[in-house]
Amino acid sequence: MKTEVLFFGIIVDITGKNRMEIDNCIDTFSIKTAIINEFPKLCNYKFVMTVRNQIVSDNKILNNGDVVAFLPPFAGG
């Protein structure tokens, strides 16, 4: 199963892209682990994760076609 992952704001500065695909992640926890392993600097930033535009606070099982987003707060004005 492939999952599309979207990045926003300062997270794009760290990942260098605003979307990517991840293979074989069954839940949000494994997506988070895979992304942080690839971009360890993300540990220093605050963000929320969403699945299908809904915030997930606990681990959530992913279905085929789910889009996961990493959303940080913005401060600029």
Partner 1 sequence: MEGQEKIKNSSVLVIGAGGLGCPVLQYLTALGVGTIGIVDHDIISESNLQRQVLYYQTDINKSKVEIAVERLGKQNPNVKFIKYFVQLTNKNALEILKDYDIVIDGTDNFATRYLINDACAILKKPLVFGAIHKFEGQVSVFHYKDDANSTGVNYRDMFPIPPSPEEAPNCSEIGVIGVLPGIIGTLQATEVLKIITGIGKVLSGELLFMNALEMQFYKVEVSVLDQTTVFSIDEYKNFDYGQFCILNEKEPVSEISVTDLKNILESDRFNLQLIDVRELNELPVVAELIDINIPLSQINEYVSKIDNQKKVILICKSGVRSKMAILKLQRDFGLKNLHSLKGGLIEWLNFNNVL
- Which residues bind to partner 1, rule: CB under 8 A? 6, 8-10, 12-13, 18, 44-46, 48, 50, 53-55, 69, 71-77
- Closer residue to partner 1 (CB): 24 or 76: 76
Rounded Cα distance between 5 and 38, Å, is 13
- Residue 76 CB, shortest distance to partner 1, in Å, is 4
Q: Are 61 and 70 in contact (CB under 8 A)?
A: no
Rounded Cα distance between 72 and 33, Å, is 17
- Closer residue to partner 1 (CB): 13 or 38: 13
